[in-house]
Amino acid sequence: MGKSSLHVLKGLDLEIKEGEFISIMGASGSGKSTLLNILGLLDTHDAGTYHLNDQIIENLNEKKAAILRNKFLGFIFQSFNLITYKNALENVALPLYYQGMKRSERNKKAMQYLDNVGLKDWAHHLPNELSGGQKQRVAVARALVGNPKVILADEPTGALDSETSAGVMKLLRQINDEGMTLIVITHEEDIAEMSDRIIRLKDGVIVSDQKVKKVKVKS
């Protein structure tokens, strides 16, 4: 493993407030995934400062990072990253296991979140028995179950068809409406349009930062 470093992000100044729904856009190689990984404490930045929940993030070791991730962050991945040998309920309950919650309690809570994403009846199915959209909804439930401050989604609809994508985005919208901060990475314009604010990256710098005009259709 060579340790050659590559400057991906070159001077970013970005503030994300609580309750915002942001999408980060850019071509591949623009640095959007790197930004998300740094925000999610999955990767480390080597220059500059990062404040998460008014707390400066520096010199984190893996243990501290793990605790912060568990407490403040929820992840949604393009490839879902469900544990294949655990059923939907157990996957959702896993963050609670690492919070040290009791088994009966965490199963109850996980079931409640599965119900919220409409998958109560699928609780005891393994990931390979679920459709792509269902898997991503399990992942959403898993990201939410630990009551994080921020949900980070890396191309959450990248592996889904457009109809399913719309369903997942609707679910994310709903979560944001309930007050959750959401950061979504995407390269699809129509997905980004569903958020409140779009940040466009190119070669590691922000090229635009604009609010989305609300054309909310109340149902």
Partner 1 sequence: MFDLDRWREIFQAISNNKLRTILTGFTIAFAILLFTLLFGIGNGLKNTFKESFAGDAENAIYIKRGKTSKAYKGLQIGRRIQFRNDDYSYMIDEFGENIQYITAMYSKFLKIIYKDENSMNQVRGTHSDIQFLEEIEVDEGRFLSQFDIKRRAKVVVIGRLVEKDLFGRRSALNKYISIDGFNYKVIGVFSDPGGDNDERYLYAPISTIQSIYGNTDYINSIRLTFIPTLSNSQAIAFGKKIGQKLKVKHNIAPRDQSAILIQNMAEASKGVGVVMWGLNIGIFIIGFGTLIAGIIGISNIMVFVVKERTKELGVRKALGATPKSIVGMIIQETILITTIAGYSGLVVGVSLLKYLKPTLEKYFLKNPSVDIGLLIGATITLILAGLIAGYLPAKRAALIKPIEALNAA
| Residue 184, beta-bridge partner list | 23, 153
By beta-carbon proximity to partner 1, the closer residue of 185 and 194 is: 185
Given candidates 66, 129, 161, 174, which one binds partner 1 under the rule CB under 8 A?
66
Secondary structure of 127-155 in HEC code, one letter for each residue: HHHCCHHHHHHHHHHHHHHCCCCEEEEEC
Cβ atoms of 16 and 184 within 8 Å: the answer is no
Q: How many helices (H) and strands (E) does the chain have?
A: 7, 8
Cβ partners under 8 Å of residue 203, min gap 6? 10, 29, 30, 31
Residue 63 sits in the site that holds partner 1 (CB under 8 A)? yes
CB of 85 to partner 1, least distance (A): 3
Cβ atoms of 20 and 182 within 8 Å: the answer is yes
CB of 208 to partner 1, least distance (A): 26
CB of 101 to partner 1, least distance (A): 9
Given candidates 99, 120, 125, 166, which one binds partner 1 under the rule CB under 8 A?
99
Chain position carrying tokens 């599965």: 114
CB of 215 to partner 1, least distance (A): 34
Tell me the site size for partner 1, rule CB under 8 A: 29
Interatomic CA distance for residues 219 and 120, integer angstroms: 24
CB of 172 to partner 1, least distance (A): 18
| 3-state SS assignment for residue 167 | helix
Chain position carrying tokens 């792509």: 132
CB of 213 to partner 1, least distance (A): 34
By beta-carbon proximity to partner 1, the closer residue of 159 and 166 is: 159
Q: Which of residues 2-41 bind partner 1 (CB under 8 A)?
A: 37, 40
Backbone angles phi, psi at 183, to 5 degrees: -125, 120
Task: Tell me which stretch binds partner 1 (CB under 8 A): 19-27, 62-70, 164-172, 190-198.
Answer: 62-70
Label residue 30 exposed, middle or buried (CB < 10 Å: 0-12, 13-18, 19+): buried
Q: Which of residues 115-144 bind partner 1 (CB under 8 A)?
A: 142
Residue 85 sits in the site that holds partner 1 (CB under 8 A)? yes
Given candidates 31, 57, 89, 90, which one binds partner 1 under the rule CB under 8 A?
90
Residue 50 sits in the site that holds partner 1 (CB under 8 A)? no
Residues near partner 1, by CB under 8 A: 37, 40, 42-44, 62-63, 66-67, 69-71, 75, 77, 81-86, 90, 94-95, 97-99, 103, 142, 146
